[in-house]
Chain A
């Protein structure tokens, strides 16, 4: 089946940029997503990218997609303490449009 992988932890200093990476195996992925989850809460959609795009920018967030390598990244510019959370990448493919999630990356922002 489809597999989505992420590194588990990332620590950055406040004000620096964060880059969270994700790889996936399903070559028929149509949409790829980044979600943010704060402790004890549900998931908040941050951004998504269609598979025929290679970059999308939305304020402090930049998504890069390398479809050939099946690699997705999320860059957060000027990272703030409020950005500390778990970030999940996810993909959908097929008619059912089910989401397959990565393991999540715990981002810790140090003062």
Chain B
């Protein structure tokens, strides 16, 4: 089946630094990737939709200058949390779609970000 990986699985950083999270589709080409944020014991909140070769579409309330998304190829999207603060600590999950019309999203295992 379609596999999505994320790297790193866990990251701890100091306040003010930037952190990059990678999302890769391992055995398929993803025209669209999604980035979600999940707080403890809460649901997934969509942050942005990323299409290969174009700018990401951010959800209302998500700062695009703080959460930089780059979808450079059909198998890789990156989320960079710039100037991270403790309130950015969360579980970040990406997902990838096989093709534009196919409805199933395949989820990565998530990245736990802790900002000290």
Contact = CB atoms under 8 A, between A and B. Distances in A.
B67 interface: no
The A interface is mostly helix, strand or loop, or mixed, namely strand
Contact of B110 (A42, A48, A88): A42
Contacts of A99: 34, 44, 46, 95, 105
Given A88-B43, A88-B44, A104-B43, A44 B103 contact: no
Contact of B43 (A40, A97, A98, A103): A103
Interface residues of B, number: 22
A44 B107 contact: yes
A48 B104 contact: yes
A8 to B, nearest CB: 8
A70 to B, nearest CB: 18
A41 B110 contact: yes
A96 B49 CA distance: 9
B112 interface: yes
Nearest to A96: B49
A102 B107 contact: no
A62 interface: no
A24 interface: no
Interface of B: 4, 6, 32, 34, 41-44, 46, 49, 93, 95, 97, 103-110, 112
6 contacts: A35-B107, A42-B108, A42-B110, A43-B95, A48-B103, A101-B44
